[in-house]
Amino acid sequence: MATLPLTYKDRDSILREEAKSVDAAWLRSEAGQQLVEDMIETMYHERGVGLAAPQIGESIRLIIVDPGHGRAEVIANPELEILNEKEDVGEEGCLSIPGNWGRVPRAKKLRVTGLDRNGNDISFVVKGFHARVYQHEVDHLNGTLIVDRFLSDD
């Protein structure tokens, strides 16, 4: 395994691109599995709670999430269905924007649908901080960054 260099907001335009769908056969391949392992190692190395592929220079729809339970969730082509429209406001930072924290409103509960790391269909419900991390990472796949969502201080 290897840690991968991070992309940064002020340097890498890939963070503003719409990422491409992941092919399930590629995900199952040695190259796909290696990228997954390297993203997991990179997320823990950087002490992140999530990592999206554009953050390591790959414009594909692949994310890693661990909201603190010590198990890396790997989802390709994630789709989010909001189950509770009510929003929580919470502090968010981003590995690609060091030192820039702000308040971001996020839906409280959602269903995540996509492919697991072996390319199999998967669907589950997350809420609270867990749901917040999913929304943050899926934003990365659409070229959206937290600075676009920060609430103003007034």
Enumerate binding residues for Zn ion (CB under 5 A). 94
Alpha helix positions (H), 18-148: 24-28, 30-45, 128-141
Question: Active site includes 46?
Answer: no
Q: Side by side, which strands form the sheet with 102-115?
A: 50-52, 62-65, 73-92, 102-115, 121-127
- The sign of the torsion formed by the CA atoms of 113, 39, 130, 149 equals negative
Nearer to Zn ion, 36 or 94 (CB): 94
CB of 71 to Zn ion, least distance (A): 20
CB of 20 to Zn ion, least distance (A): 19
Nearer to Zn ion, 76 or 94 (CB): 94
The tally of CA atoms less than 13 A away on the side-chain side of residue 149 is 23
CB of 39 to Zn ion, least distance (A): 13
Nearer to Zn ion, 57 or 121 (CB): 57
Partners of 126 in the beta sheet?
110
How many beta carbons lie within 10 A of that of residue 60, not counting itself? Answer: 20
Catalytic residues, which ones? 137
